[in-house]
Chains A and B, each alone.
Chain A
């Protein structure tokens, strides 16, 4: 059975994450919320510590805290602090509390590195199920709200005039982000989730004329990065998650240079 091969499971996990983050990553780029992804991911460490302490699933714990974090940010925005200050306070304090909480778990040995940088080669069949289930959920959620989200991203008043509540759309995005973070932790780890959100979307920009094509191209670039990155990690014996991000970054660089050459030529 092909799922017996750990490389095959890792590849499927990588592609699953790449597909889920592509449309979401586009919105993160368009709405300039790159740091929001970072903050949600950092908060997830606290969720992991709590879920180990309470012996519940890591996925559920990470998602619950990521969600809580996202809702808190939603609630606190526009109340005196700038968004980046607020995210900085919440993200780093959640990370610190998480690391402190982990140190209390004396009875259990946990490999923190595995959660910071991901451990895609250790993906089990069950993990694969969670990843693809989560990815399908995120893609369905974003696909369902796509036009409304796009309108709210362009301009809030334009959304209101079309009968769309931009705050509700923001909530949908936040929810999708929390699910994605929880799903992707195993694959790329907390520190690199934001990279997988942003780099393929940014790389897709010069190739796209419509928002839809940008999301599709981003999904393609993310998948290619996962394939090549895993292969490279296997050949050069490098850590898998970071290798995937490196390949995505190289694709971004190549497409950006090609894009600017084309612009200056025309």
Chain B
């Protein structure tokens, strides 16, 4: 039984179609990563799953008791809005103080509950966002470029945290990332998106797929030495986004 099921979904903004006929599903406990170039519809797909975007066609179904935890791409808190970490985690429904402590510990920042959100560093901020997503004990964690603005060691540490969260809680993870080499080694399944699903499978399969190579070239594969295969035929993507 899948946690969430995207069936044949198309999304348009005005006359512009950003996604066409995308289908995917996420099963309990698996880590699925969506990769794709800028403008490939990754964020739109995630926003459709949380209900922020209505698909033009197709449908998104999720079990009635499936809880989502969402970590947005970026979050700007206006400096005029005073907000402690603890208060932020308790939004919108209010939670027990112990749950706040647990979630912060799980996200790797146990001592921050009394800090002001505006005083946090980039890495602390992302972990607090993660803690907020974890506090409702989600079945499915959705992350949209959650390591944006972190340096390489910072984002590597962040993804190790995600793996340990999955190990401890058994939740499934669906994430978007541009850091292919870091993310792919931690994923069970990779979906390569460019207006449509180009290819999907285990990291090894996707990394060697001609469609993936056509999008990212073999140049980005340096750090992906583990998955390097030499397929040399082309794959034309110029009309993929239409």
A residues contacting B by CB (< 8 A) are 29-32, 147-148, 150-151, 153-164, 202, 205, 208-211, 213-214
Contacts and interface: CB of A to CB of B under 8 A. Distances in A.
Task: Tell me what chain A mostly uses at the interface: helix, strand, loop, or mixed.
Answer: helix
B75 A202 contact: no
B50 A160 contact: yes
Contact of A211 (B50, B75, B87): B87
A161 B142 contact: yes
A160 B47 contact: yes
A164 B72 CA distance: 15
Contacts of B81: 30, 153-154, 211
Interface string B38-52: 000000000100111
B83 A211 contact: yes
B94 A147 contact: yes
A159 B47 CA distance: 11
B72 A214 contact: no
A214 B52 contact: no
25 contacts: A29-B80, A30-B78, A30-B80, A31-B78, A147-B92, A147-B93, A150-B91, A150-B92, A151-B91, A151-B92, A153-B81, A154-B75, A154-B77, A156-B52, A157-B72, A158-B72, A158-B75, A159-B92, A160-B52, A161-B50, A205-B80, A205-B82, A209-B82, A210-B87, A211-B81
B201 to A, nearest CB: 28
Given A154-B77, A158-B75, A161-B142, A210 B82 contact: yes
B134 to A, nearest CB: 13
Nearest 9 A/B pairs, CB to CB: A161-B70, A160-B52, A147-B92, A151-B92, A161-B50, A208-B82, A30-B81, A157-B72, A210-B87
A174 B119 CA distance: 31
Contacts of B187: none
Interface residues of B, number: 24
Contact of A157 (B50, B69, B78, B116): B50
B31 interface: no
Interface string B111-126: 0000010000000000
B84 A157 contact: no
Contacts of A213: 82
Contacts of B77: 154
Nearest to A164: B92
Contacts of A208: 82
A149 to B, nearest CB: 9
Contacts of A211: 81-83, 87
Nearest to B142: A161
B171 interface: no
Nearest to B136: A162
A157 B82 contact: no
A121 to B, nearest CB: 33
Nearest to A217: B82
A147 B91 contact: yes
Nearest to A212: B87
B192 interface: no
Contacts of A162: 91-93
Contacts of A30: 78, 80-81
Nearest to A206: B82
Interface in B49-71: 50-52, 68-70
Given A150-B91, A157-B70, 18 more contacts: A30-B78, A30-B80, A32-B78, A147-B93, A147-B94, A151-B92, A154-B81, A154-B91, A156-B52, A157-B47, A157-B50, A160-B47, A160-B51, A160-B52, A161-B52, A162-B92, A209-B84, A210-B82
Nearest to A31: B78
Contacts of B87: 210-211
Contacts of A202: 80
B106 to A, nearest CB: 18
